[in-house]
Amino acid sequence: MKTLITIVPLALLIAVSPALVSAQAATTKPAAKAAAKKKKPKPAHSAQKEAEEAMPIDDDPAVKLSEADLEVAKKVYTGDIPCELGATVHITPHKREGFFIVRAGVQRFRMHPVESRTGAIRLEDPVAGAMWLQLGNKSMLMSQKMGKRLADDCMNPAQAAVNEALKTNPMPSLLEPLPAAKAGASAATTAAVAPAAAAPASAASAAPAGAATPAANMPSAPASAAAAK
């Protein structure tokens, strides 16, 4: 009897164990799937873009702009500036006077004016090594660290008008003198050549009318010598 009582619980335990294992496995699978979905990483480019957009631009208080720099900042074109190959550069004034946020695609720079030897308007981001150069007829965005142009032939309406005007009235080459210089050089050449051309005529008119030629001044052979022969 005791043996029978001991065998019955064992039989029940053996019969129930597969059901418990199956229920535990069924509970574990959805949890594993949920964990797999949660750990799925985002694409690298999307994560980088979100990180760049969320990262605030550092406001370096060490950069001090002069009055001349602030005057140059007033001449910077802002807004959406179309460039070649369908690119667009966005320039917006920064909260700090004289500074600008320059964006091209996912790249973003914090720039300020610097002195230019050529008279062009030049903005630089010394930390990122980028530069925005604004000329009369176009602008360009360059990366000195990468050694290439990020955007070229960028024109706002005012620059586009200047560019069209230069097509019909191109600026003179730096290797050619200006028209006034050409006229002055021509006048100087004429003044230098005229006296040289008039010199032979003056010398001829200055000679005496009765002056004999060198051949006429040569002595003739004596007549007696000719007769003796």
pLDDT of residue 154: 96
Domains and CATH numbers, the chain: 58-162 (2.40.128.50)
Report how far apart, in Å, the C-alpha atoms of 208 and of each of 55, 180, 204 are.
100, 46, 9
| Residue-level pLDDT, tens digit, the chain, 229 residues | 444 445 545 454 455 455 554 555 555 555 555 555 555 555 554 565 566 555 554 456 578 899 999 999 999 999 999 999 999 999 999 999 999 999 999 999 999 999 888 889 999 998 898 999 999 999 999 998 888 899 999 999 999 999 999 988 887 655 556 556 556 656 655 665 555 555 555 555 545 554 444 444 555 544 444 444 4
pTM for this one?
A: 0.51
pLDDT of residue 92: 97
pLDDT of residue 199: 54
Q: What are the E-state strand segments in the chain?
A: 79-82, 88-93, 100-104, 107-114, 121-125, 130-134, 139-143, 148-154
pLDDT of residue 161: 94
pLDDT of residue 63: 83
pLDDT of residue 149: 92
